[in-house]
């Protein structure tokens, strides 16, 4: 099933999204800032959730099935924003259809999953990348410095479970979400409660040192 907005795709680069949560919404906002790029479709296991997400984020089509989106849409790439324990099977769906993949971190929960996905991607010549945006920006400490220098007031974002702030400067409106002890503990509690995955990537050094004690509690 699909829902429609008045959009003319033309030669636009068309993203599809698997998963209709908060981080996927932020991805849609980022896509809108890039000329020639659009979010064309979203899929969720819950059709109603996908429909609401599409309406809120200006997405043309919505689906209640990942395979249906991949088969019906002419997508240039798929952004995977499901929970970590489903990443592997979602990635394989894309690779099987030769659709390039940008998967939210952590991409896989074991070396075996990573090796098999890399083998299949190479075999079918499909682009596959982990959305480790921390690799492309300064450290979290630099973000804290920016908050202090610009006197940004941070408030708790209940949807994402992080502190959020915004300010206006000569370059326009600027936004920031900060990872710190409270937000990390919330994520760790959810991982334990629902038996998810994704702790190992936080031990790579991208997060501030004062949360390492929290992360190290998970084995």
Which active-site residues does the annotation give? Answer: 105
**In whole angstroms, what is the distance from residue 185 CA to residue 57 CA?**
29
Contact 37, 60 (CB under 8 A): no
Q: Report the Cα 144 to chain-centroid distance in Å.
A: 22
**In whole angstroms, what is the distance from residue 112 CA to residue 191 CA?**
21
**In whole angstroms, what is the distance from residue 158 CA to residue 162 CA?**
7
**In whole angstroms, what is the distance from residue 181 CA to residue 183 CA?**
6
**In whole angstroms, what is the distance from residue 34 CA to residue 197 CA?**
31
């Amino acid at each position: 099933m699909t829902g429609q907005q008045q959009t003319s795709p033309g030669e636009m680069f068309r993203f599809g999204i698997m998963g209709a949560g908060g981080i996927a919404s932020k991805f849609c906002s980022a896509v809108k800032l890039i000329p020639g790029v659009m979010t064309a479709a979203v899929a969720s296991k819950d059709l109603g959730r996908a429909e609401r997400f599409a309406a809120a984020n200006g997405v043309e089509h919505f689906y209640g099935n990942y395979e249906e989106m991949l088969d019906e849409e002419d997508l240039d790439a798929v952004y995977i924003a499901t929970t970590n324990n489903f990443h592997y099977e979602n990635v394989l769906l894309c690779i099987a259809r030769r659709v390039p993949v940008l998967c939210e971190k952590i991409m896989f929960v074991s070396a075996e999953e990573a090796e098999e996905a890399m083998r299949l991607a190479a075999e079918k010549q499909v682009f596959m990348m982990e959305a480790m945006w921390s690799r492309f920006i300064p450290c979290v400490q630099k973000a804290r410095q920016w908050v202090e220098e610009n006197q940004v007031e941070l408030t708790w974002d209940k949807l994402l479970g992080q502190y959020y702030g915004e300010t206006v400067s000569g370059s326009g409106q600027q936004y920031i979400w900060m990872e710190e002890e409270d937000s990390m503990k919330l994520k760790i509690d959810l991982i334990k409660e629902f038996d998810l995955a994704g702790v190992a990537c936080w031990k790579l050094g991208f997060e501030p040192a004062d949360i390492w004690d929290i992360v190290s509690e998970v084995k």
